[in-house]
Structure 1
Amino acid sequence: MGKRIFYFLLTNVLVLVTISIIFSLIGGANYINAQGGIDFGALLVVSAVIGFSGSFISLAMSRWMAKKMMNVRVIDPDASLTGYERDIVEKVHRLSRAAGLTHMPEVGVYDSPEVNAFATGPSKNRSLVAVSTGLLQEMDDDAVEGVIAHEVAHIANGDMVTMTLLQGVVNTFVVFLARIAAWAVSRFVKEELAPIVHFIAILVFQIAFSILGSLVVFAYSRHREYHADRGGADLAGRDKMVHALQMLKAYSNRMQGEEQTAISTLKINNKGKSMLFSTHPDLDDRINRLKM
């Protein structure tokens, strides 16, 4: 899920900045009243329009972005499949049917040594489950099934849509506060420079506040991991889900001290890192909760 969160947030920031620029150029973000002050009602409406547009456009682009940026090779389920491709498609489809999905997710593989898997897409009917070659090489069959069950649970839970709504609210506050801050900064420069300073300050503050706002999204992501773990346990069996997490823990321990940026999607090793900037809870905590 870590990759899914990262690309969603990156796309959201880029889309948000683009929409803000377009609104400014066409004069659609006019919230300054005749006295040179802020019409807070108008600003709130503008902020909500920009904020939710940014999050929903990011959601619509999420599957396409993930395929392009990760170079995911989508497996054709109707082709004559053999080996690991057949096994992955079979697992994804079987677990998706068990989760009550009526449309099977696209299934993909991408070349990477990292132990990784992610699910993304704008809806349950247009989703993608992708696994890395590193995961297939490092994990046994039961662990791979546990990982895939976890990702299918994210789709069945509608986590991307819920996150989009949350991101829309966060975006609204980001846009709202960024424009107030930009207006305040522009008051300290010469009148002829004020529009330019105001425009530049909006972009700077918007990016800065987006980074701060991402902490809320990260907190939600950590919360949803526990739900996906339980969902994965219901689909694949608790033993397989625990086994998958234990293999991830063993792998992460083995890789500690080496220059690795991403250890896994199910669990990026958070020891020594601030939980504020983590998309996933500690592995030991996740394992213990499943065993309860």
Structure 2
Amino acid sequence: MANYFVGDIQGCFDELQLLLAKVEFNPSKDILWAVGDLVARGSGSLPTLRYFKQLDGSARVVLGNHDLHLLAVAAKIKRANPKDQLDALLASSDLNSLIGWLRIQPLFQELPERNIIMSHAGIPPQWDLARLRSEAKKVSDALISPDYIQALISKMYGSDVNSWDPKADPLQQKIYCINALTRMRFLHSDGKLEFDSKLSPSAYKDSTLTPWFKFDGIINQTHTLVFGHWAAIMGEVGMQDMHALDTGCCWGEYLTLWHLESNQKITQNKLKKS
């Protein structure tokens, strides 16, 4: 059995299929891990969701910010970004089934026997594993509840909740969890999330901003962390226990697959439009 971790697909379904063919991915014995943002900017969001849904036990998925936004768009409380290519997905006959499948996906995944944790954007440095499990479960419980749209999805937007407060009300704690695990890139010196800076760290050399993975985190002392979300760093973190897999396929770069057992990264360039 092999474990393959793939970066942000964002609807680049054809590139995903070519990448999986390169490693002869076999769902009968292999596991495909996806760091989230299955949908959005590429033209294949619909087949991407269908593919992962039918993989069933052969896939491990976490939700990204674009996946959560899709829940809001499908519920008609937000409009699709004009740059996203979601028309086919939103008009599909199995949209409700796909949305139901997305709602049961978690914010993080574990491979305990290898001490690996995967999330979309990262893990708050101040959280230990017990806190991560607890807070992520609260969000998952809210997503599967019948009133998930009004109770959570409609309220998760905004950047006001940018720091962890164990005394905050339950909704704010859920929003922080979503913000940290699906939107985090830089942190201020006091650990607060910074949402506006999306370039590589070299663009902010004179600022007080620090990439979240450069903080002395609790979990990364014992675990290997796998994440996506930050295409601008193109997989470069300079740390052996971190694997950043978003390499900007939807922006014209390439899709990256990490083969755990060989510790090798395999890539597939963005296909040119005919």
TM-score bucket of the superposed structures, by smaller chain: under 0.3
Q: Which has the higher strand share?
A: 2
Q: Which has the higher helix share?
A: 1
TM-score calculated relative to the size of structure 2: 0.24
TM-score calculated relative to the size of structure 1: 0.23
